[in-house]
Amino acid sequence: MHKDKDLQLMESPSSKILIEDFELDAVVFSKIADAVPDMIYVTDIQQMRKIYTNAAIHQLFGLPHKQIEELGLRFFERTVHPLDHDMYFKSLDRLKLLKDNELDELTYRVIDCNGKTHWIATRRKLLKRDEFGAPLQIIGISQNITPKVALEEEKKRLIDEKAKTEAVQQKLILKAIIDAQEEERRNIAENLHNEIGQLLFAAQIKLGDNEIESRALLQKAIKKVREVSFELTPVLLYDMGLEEALKDLLERKLDPHQISFNLSFTINEIRLNSNVEVIIYRIIQELLNNTLKHAKATHVNVLIMQKDRELYVSKTDNGVGMDKNILLDTKKGFGLKSIVNRIHILNGVFEIFSSPNNGTKVLMNIPLNDA
């Protein structure tokens, strides 16, 4: 009984009408397509011409369907952005290899009737093949994503701007810290030289001639105070410049350890910016300290060379070398963080080449204009 009733419902006139309603003709499809905001199209990819375009496409390019179809390949050449031509036509070759149920997606730029550029995101698939099975037509739907792209670009611009601002602030903070350190070093050096050094010298004068051992200890203490004072504030750097200061630094650091050295100094200017000179001096000073502590080297090369507005700085030794990862790990005691911070202030780059038993080479590139 129930079976017969279900059969009558399936064969009722109202059911047939519902089924037939889904068999849309071209006019109905066209009206629906024109009502949506997206661009709908059918393209003959063998002849490269649009055989169907909806109202959204006509509005964007300011052309009726008949003219778009008659333009054929010239429509694509005229509307696809020149920088995206190659990508767009290669994508059509890729599309021809798809299966009937596969979708292809592409984002590219077009130029509208007023010469304005728009970003388009399209999804398309094969619609029809010829009698030989070769792809004949594709159907696709495109969206104008220009506002979205513009929003993303603005977001990226703001992020980049924020990053640059933070980087500038960080450099200013680092510079302030380093300047404060230099000032503190100068104060300590002056106190050592003017107060402690003079007190030691006065004590030496007060000693009798028979107190030779005490005199020797005081002389050694006075010498050490002078060395520490000069280490803190290199007077030669301020008075004579970077080259003379580096020569003195290399001699004081390396000669007592019987380590030979070579200094090559070639710049186009009489004096570099004072901040640049101080930072380079401190970097070489730190690198030499690390060499003495870890490298077991017998020879050191230091090169300072200017080419146009670039300054190249390198320090090389023939020591035992180290694993590069250890070199960059400030927790291991190699103390490169201060060097990296100083190079960062000058907008320079810093690279280390080292491996066990092959020595260590440190290269720095500093743009003088930015510095």
Q: pLDDT (tens digit, 9 = 90+) per residue, 358-371?
A: 899 999 999 987 65
pLDDT digits over 78-130, tens only? 999 999 999 999 999 898 898 988 999 999 999 998 999 999 999 999 999 99
230 pLDDT higher than 80: no
Mean pLDDT of the chain: 83
Q: E strands within the chain?
A: 39-44, 49-53, 104-111, 117-129, 135-144, 260-266, 299-307, 310-317, 349-354, 360-367
pLDDT band at 266 (very low <50, low <70, confident <90, very high): very high
> What's phi and psi for 63, nearest 5 deg?
-130, 140
CA–CA dist 39, 56 (Å, integer)? 5
Using a cut of 0.75, tell me whether the model's pTM lies above it.
Answer: no
Mean pLDDT of 312-328: 80
250 pLDDT higher than 90: yes
pLDDT digits over 296-310, tens only? 999 999 999 999 889
